Structure 1
Amino acid sequence: MSSRTDKTKDKGVSSPQAGPVHTELRDIGSTGIESGRDPPLSIPRVVVDPQLREDIEPNMQGPVDVKRFVKSVLGFDASRFQWGDWEFTPSTLLHKQYRASNDEPGRCQPFCDMLDDAFSQWSSCAPVKQSRNKTIYFKPTTRQNISGHSGVTRTNCHNPDIHGEALWGPVGSGWATILFAGELVRTSNLDEEEPNTTGDPEPSRSPASVPSVGDTGTGASGKRKLSISEEANKARKTNPESFPSIHIKELAVGGTESAAPSPPPQGKALRLTSDQVQLAGYANEIFKAAGNRRYVTGIFVNDDEVSLWYYDRIGVVRSRDFNMFKDLELFVLFAVAVSVCDRKHVGYEPLLKPGPATGANDIALSTVENNTLCLDSRHAVDGSGAPVYHDVSFQIIGKPIYVQCGIVGRGTVVHAISPKDDGGLALEAGELVAKLSWPVKTLVAEDALIRDIRSNIDPAWSKHIPDVLCSMTLDGEALDLPRKLMGSWDGQAEDRVLRILIARRAEGLEKVRSLEEFETIFLQAVRCHRVVFVKTNILHRDLSVDNLLFTRDGDNALAVVNDWDLGKVYKPDERPSACLRMGTAHFMALDLLKGDPPRHMYRHDLESFIYILIWCAMHFDLRGNKQSLHPLLKPWTEGTWEDIYDHKVKHFSSLVDVDPLISAVQPAFEPLVQKWILPLCNLLMEVQSQILERENNRVRLKWNMMSETESMPHQMEQDAWNETRRGLMTFETFMKTIGEDPVIPEFAAIPQ
């Protein structure tokens, strides 16, 4: 259960190179760029964009019928559109302006004006007569950049070509006020092509497939338009193709709604263009801005071809391409639908009810402050797992504690809350947190796993496990996701659920007051983790500096081993899977970062504690402050799995290699250098030495320098090596290495 007072969680890692680096990206979904409870571990665009590609491409669906997309996602039924009962006259002037532009910024204003003009004609025609008021207008993004939330050495600045803002309510300069984002791409000179208009080319308009009713005026609503930006379009980045692919556009069926889409050929991955990745980057920023979106819609315009993109935590669904000049019905339908969109179909989280300061007509909800989080009793349970018989609600306090970066995945958001309507639950006084996340449906539910752990360990240890007061899981029809209405193909995106956990708030390790207090918390966490494994056979599988928290009982600090959403019962005979790697890369055991990793074992969690210790010693001053990401550890946070392995392992090859890390320890942690840090680093070096010796033996055997009998260990010895690195990576060895008693009295007879 995430319960932090800052924003420093990083379960994922980016991949600027070929090859995915995830914390179980596609299958568990921390979305490889889950960087952060905001910096120090945040990620620049050069890293974000390739990782978005890695996350999205395996979870792409479509192309779907445009009318179905508009109805399902934007909530506008084409039957209400009444095409054929009124007359639309496209503006030749706007078409010419769009076609004549030699750059993308020059096309933005004409495109926005065409959207505005289409709505104006629809809303003024007799059969419609303002059946729905305009709520959203589009304009070019003329600000230099809209600063994003992720950047290691700089802010992650994105600049959508166009964006939709609300006609009423908050309007600002950040992503929280952006309702839709669009990317325009110029790949050809449209002025050389023959436009689909009829009649005299000189007038400002030419009729479509219906009789003309005259000029209604370009951009008739006249709402808050901005001038065209004159600056050069942003540079675009390409990503190397590392496996067989076909581009999205090759699958699109432009200009028709009759043929059913066909799935991509077997053995080929559906690939995004670099511009489509940029559009996904805008969606990523919108998700992260306020932590109150369940889904986001994007608009992609490639010359005269338009497609609509739907993003949620399960994956991405795109519409078919349609031509803005030839497929006038579809273009006007889309223009009207985005112009009259309401809060629900913008994609706001419906469990969050706006505060009293929000106007009835406000579409943009730029903050969650004073929102009410509502849990439906039909789907909620209390801390024991028993049904809740009355709805429960909580007041959101301030801004989110944490909003996960990324699109596909758990999409975790953590809010500080206070009870509003307890629904009959016995909620004790004290600060609470709500964690909303989207885990894979087939995983064991985190709340159920926590209940199992707490019921099987002694109360003296259960106080180190999050106390979930109530929870709710929404699945299938209860989620009411637009993707369910679009009839997307099965099997291309793994199903997820929305899970909400309510628990007591805890502090991050950077808030520890003294070295003695840190030692107490660290040892409690290591021992509690061992107790959980011995008593329940459950591994955490995502130990990190942000998952070790603490609370206070008077003057006593109590460790909390947090976030069990990747926890799982350990099965020794279970086969490993490379696509199911677990953990935060910079805290993961070394051999989990290598190609063909083994199954996750207890020793891997134990090794993570060593990296957590080093990380804390290099970043925390024990006065409530933390340093920015140290340059020595930055390579641990980005690149491919193999890149991170190479950078980490070289620090533990010899004392000479580990010395730079030791020299970077904060003064407050220097007493632990000889007591804990160097002995544990030496333990890692001894493991690496034995690994090297085993590899040398294989070479000796290859060149007949030793017999097969000498080189091949007995099965029992091999098992011991796999499970404990021949006794080097056990709880007992770990504790003795740092001079602590390895005996836990309540199960002293159980082998450690």
Structure 2
Amino acid sequence: MPGLNSPVHSPNYGESEFKKPLKLSSASDDLLWDLKNNLYDGVPPEQFIQHIFGIKPEYVDAIMAKKWRLDSKLLIEYHVACHHNDRDRMAPPYEDLLHALGERVCRYFSEDYDPDKLWMHLKHSFMLAFPSRTIAKPEIPASLGDVSGSEYHSAIAEDEQSPSIPAVGPELEAPHPSNEDRMRSTRHSRKSLPLPITIHDLDVARTAVESMAVSGRHYTIRASVHRTSITLWYYDRACIVRALSFDFEKQPNIFALFAYGMSSVNTRNDDYNPEPCVGPSFVFPVNPYYGSSLVGTRIMFLPIVRGDPVPMFFVDRFIYVYSGLIGRGTMVYEVREDFMAEDGSQNEALKVSWPLAARPREDALISQILQAIPEWQDHLPEVTFSATYTPTDLGVPRVELLRCIGINEIPTERNMHVLGMSKYEKLWEVGNIGGFKKIFVDCVECHYHSYATGRVLHGDLSENNLMFKQDEDGVKGIVNDWDMASPVDDMDEVLATNIPTGTTPFMACELLCDDAPPHLYRHDLESFFYILVWACVNYSLRKKKRLSTAKVIELWNLPERARMAKVAFLIDPYCRDEVFNYIGEEFTSIKEAWLMPLWRLFRDAFVSAPEGTTLEGYDMRTCGGRVTFEKFMGALGKEPRHLSR
């Protein structure tokens, strides 16, 4: 298990009610990484506006060719407010300038002017900025290609000195990008040199995180205003586009185009349309407060086959909300298909995510496993609905937007994947130690047979995907969330990707280094061990609660520290006992019966590798035969059932 360098992986998010906000520096580092590695500069503002708002080219030409004048009285009022750096005084004249200009442009085309639409755009995408210093320059963008439908959301930028992160919700947490989400690519071209990244750019990105945390938003835009300079931003799950700034006083024709896009009834407005539309995916509020919450809304998707009924789900509550920017953007909701059904009846889980298009579909992998091991169907998720939508299906403007700067191909495309399934309970909700132990063993065995016979390696085990259901036979453990799983060939080689996957506190030590080896079955067994330790320290089964993460294992959740902390835990009995001393009273029987035998198993495996570079005669797949399914079950004192191999 060589190497001690730590790359960045996904932390353990837990369930939303147990999350605590990350400190500013951590969230800022992630956003800065996104800006440096996923930012495309140089889109002319008029082309940005045209594609975002869906304005006809002939209208763009007409607006750009005409001379427009701004209201001089409002302009003076705005300049006075700018002189005093008074943001509250800056907003009204700026908005009035946009209103007046938008109405004139609509009149020019004999179109209806919609002040409510303009007000909504101002409320949800307008920011006033103060000067801020440069903190970085963007690098070549990394992963590109995620999409999904449009919406704008609110933000008024605070002064750059503000230490707070805009709230995404009452209990959301900005995640570290996973290794997959940070996959780099350089297969693209640029028309312009990278522009600086400022602290204010981070502020703008934070509000984009807030906006994207509301599902139904496949992308979001921001208009950042500093005095008379306007910078337009576009964000989706795979890329960020920054338009060239323009001066609305010196370039009123671009300002007029912007005002028209935000106020005309004939420009794109899918995000605020209060009526059901034929869009690929959108949210229609059942309650009167748009965007206040998705609870009580219905989510609709394109039919899988043309002419089929529109898939529709009514949201009862959030289960999990991804609160980062670039990445898979996974959202999970408790939903009903029948709006008239009683709350809590016929409920299921709906997961919406944006995995890399190159990855196998989760529903296809689950189907492959079920065909191979039908006797284990009670321990695998029951899929009730599945659909995948490409960027083209979703009509996202990002593709055309990038073509403006000569980028015709997205190197790492993402598709939106929707998965409906039966709703299961979390591991800590079982209520007693006997049920907990049965669920854990069920999951270990199901995971093994999925690998050995189903030829699929899960690869991302965490406390959140070891779940259970209860029927007349009692509790049954279920291995959930196969979206990061990979097919396995006849030589036991993982086929999908060489990029390490996993959730930081539960990842094998070997995978937490920059030169990580291919993901092996034994790495998932090591994850099972860490999940077990984590549960014994952090769960209250009697209260059916996941407690705050114990201080003694907090480092396990830090990408840059997790490897060293877990190495110390595995090889140093003193560090082991420090952790085991935090084991809850309910789990004391597990300490000697399960934890100590498993600790010795992985300690012996960790120190067993020959020194130096030669490994001749040593089986790295099993650490010399020390880490196998049979050895793991033996450490639990359990006889394997239904061995498939």
Determine if the TM-score, normalized by the shorter chain, exceeds 0.5: yes
| Corresponding position of 1:218 | none
| Corresponding position of 1:253 | none
| Corresponding position of 1:638 | 558
Aligned residue for 1:406, secondary structure, equals coil
Q: CA distance change for structure 1 residues 495 and 723 in 2, over 3 Å: closer, same or farther?
A: same
User: What aligned pairs does 1:162-241 form with structure 2 within 5 A after superposition?
Assistant: 164-165=122-123, 179-182=124-127, 184-186=129-131, 233-234=161-162
**Is the contact between residue 438 and residue 496 of structure 1 (CA under 8 Å) also seen in structure 2?**
yes
**Is the contact between residue 122 and residue 128 of structure 1 (CA under 8 Å) also seen in structure 2?**
no
The runs of 4+ residues in structure 1 deviating greater than 6 Å are 32-35, 228-232, 346-349, 575-579
Q: Tell me by how many angstroms 1:447 deviates.
A: 0.8
- TM-score, normalised with respect to structure 2: 0.81
Greater alpha carbon shift after TM alignment, 672-681 vs 586-595: 672-681
Q: CA distance change for structure 1 residues 392 and 85 in 2, over 3 Å: closer, same or farther?
A: closer
Q: CA distance change for structure 1 residues 564 and 582 in 2, over 3 Å: closer, same or farther?
A: same
**Is the contact between residue 53 and residue 269 of structure 2 (CA under 8 Å) also seen in structure 1?**
no
Q: Tell me by how many angstroms 1:655 deviates.
A: 1.5
Match of 2:50 among 71, 82, 86: 71
Q: Tell me by how many angstroms 1:576 deviates.
A: 10
Q: How many angstroms apart in 2 are the aligned matches of 1:408 and 1:596? A: 23
Q: Tell me by how many angstroms 1:45 deviates.
A: 2.5
| Corresponding position of 1:431 | 347
**Is the contact between residue 282 and residue 301 of structure 2 (CA under 8 Å) also seen in structure 1?**
no
| Corresponding position of 2:634 | 736
| Corresponding position of 1:321 | 245
Query: Is residue 9 of structure 2 the alignment partner of residue 22 of structure 1?
Result: yes
Taking only aligned residues, the RMSD between alpha carbons, in angstroms, comes to 3.5
Q: How many angstroms apart in 2 are the aligned matches of 1:103 and 1:653? A: 62
| Corresponding position of 1:508 | 426
Q: How many angstroms apart in 2 are the aligned matches of 1:368 and 1:576? A: 38
Q: Tell me by how many angstroms 1:71 deviates.
A: 2.1
**Is the contact between residue 229 and residue 245 of structure 2 (CA under 8 Å) also seen in structure 1?**
yes
| Corresponding position of 2:525 | 606
Q: Tell me by how many angstroms 1:513 deviates.
A: 1.5
Q: How many angstroms apart in 2 are the aligned matches of 1:138 and 1:233? A: 28
| Corresponding position of 2:397 | 482
Output the amino acid matched with 1:682.
R
User: What aligned pairs does 1:247-396 form with structure 2 within 5 A after superposition?
Assistant: 262-263=190-191, 272-288=197-213, 290-302=214-226, 304-339=228-263, 343-345=269-271, 351-358=281-288, 364-379=290-305, 390-396=308-314
**Is the contact between residue 12 and residue 503 of structure 2 (CA under 8 Å) also seen in structure 1?**
no
Q: CA distance change for structure 1 residues 536 and 530 in 2, over 3 Å: closer, same or farther?
A: same
Output the amino acid matched with 2:9.
H
Q: CA distance change for structure 1 residues 737 and 389 in 2, over 3 Å: closer, same or farther?
A: farther
**Is the contact between residue 239 and residue 326 of structure 2 (CA under 8 Å) also seen in structure 1?**
yes
| Corresponding position of 1:593 | 512
Q: CA distance change for structure 1 residues 435 and 628 in 2, over 3 Å: closer, same or farther?
A: same
Aligned residue for 1:609, secondary structure, equals helix
**Is the contact between residue 137 and residue 339 of structure 1 (CA under 8 Å) also seen in structure 2?**
yes
Q: How many angstroms apart in 1 are the aligned matches of 2:603 and 2:157? A: 57
Aligned residue for 1:499, secondary structure, equals strand
**Is the contact between residue 505 and residue 557 of structure 2 (CA under 8 Å) also seen in structure 1?**
yes
Q: How many angstroms apart in 2 are the aligned matches of 1:482 and 1:436? A: 20
Q: Tell me by how many angstroms 1:130 deviates.
A: 6.0
Aligned residue for 1:344, secondary structure, equals coil
Q: Tell me by how many angstroms 1:136 deviates.
A: 4.7
Q: Tell me by how many angstroms 1:92 deviates.
A: 5.9
Residue correspondences, number: 579
| Corresponding position of 2:144 | none
Q: CA distance change for structure 1 residues 274 and 19 in 2, over 3 Å: closer, same or farther?
A: farther
| Corresponding position of 2:97 | 117
Match of 1:132 among 103, 113, 116: 113
Aligned residue for 2:445, secondary structure, equals helix
| Corresponding position of 2:363 | 447
**Is the contact between residue 48 and residue 243 of structure 2 (CA under 8 Å) also seen in structure 1?**
yes
| Corresponding position of 1:26 | none
Aligned sequence identity (%): 25
Match of 1:629 among 549, 562, 574: 549
Q: Tell me by how many angstroms 1:553 deviates.
A: 0.9
Q: CA distance change for structure 1 residues 447 and 321 in 2, over 3 Å: closer, same or farther?
A: same
Greater alpha carbon shift after TM alignment, 570-579 vs 471-480: 570-579
Q: CA distance change for structure 1 residues 487 and 54 in 2, over 3 Å: closer, same or farther?
A: closer
User: What aligned pairs does 1:79-118 form with structure 2 within 5 A after superposition?
Assistant: 79-80=58-59, 83=63, 87-91=68-72, 94-95=75-76, 97-98=78-79, 101=82, 106-107=86-87, 109-111=89-91, 113-118=93-98
Q: CA distance change for structure 1 residues 539 and 297 in 2, over 3 Å: closer, same or farther?
A: same
Q: Tell me by how many angstroms 1:357 deviates.
A: 4.0
Q: How many angstroms apart in 2 are the aligned matches of 1:118 and 1:389? A: 42
Q: CA distance change for structure 1 residues 662 and 262 in 2, over 3 Å: closer, same or farther?
A: closer
| Corresponding position of 2:450 | 532
Aligned residue for 2:333, secondary structure, equals strand
**Is the contact between residue 465 and residue 562 of structure 1 (CA under 8 Å) also seen in structure 2?**
yes
- TM-score, normalised with respect to structure 1: 0.70
Q: Tell me by how many angstroms 1:329 deviates.
A: 1.4
Q: Tell me by how many angstroms 1:116 deviates.
A: 2.6
Aligned residue for 1:733, secondary structure, equals helix
Q: Tell me by how many angstroms 1:410 deviates.
A: 1.3
Aligned residue for 1:664, secondary structure, equals coil
Question: Unpaired runs of 5+ in structure 2?
Answer: 134-154, 166-188
Q: Tell me by how many angstroms 1:676 deviates.
A: 0.9
**Is the contact between residue 236 and residue 275 of structure 1 (CA under 8 Å) also seen in structure 2?**
no
Q: How many angstroms apart in 2 are the aligned matches of 1:687 and 1:347? A: 59
Q: CA distance change for structure 1 residues 96 and 113 in 2, over 3 Å: closer, same or farther?
A: closer
Q: How many angstroms apart in 2 are the aligned matches of 1:135 and 1:351? A: 23
Q: Tell me by how many angstroms 1:183 deviates.
A: 5.6
Output the amino acid matched with 1:506.
Y
Larger radius of gyration: 1
Q: How many angstroms apart in 1 are the aligned matches of 2:454 and 2:47? A: 48
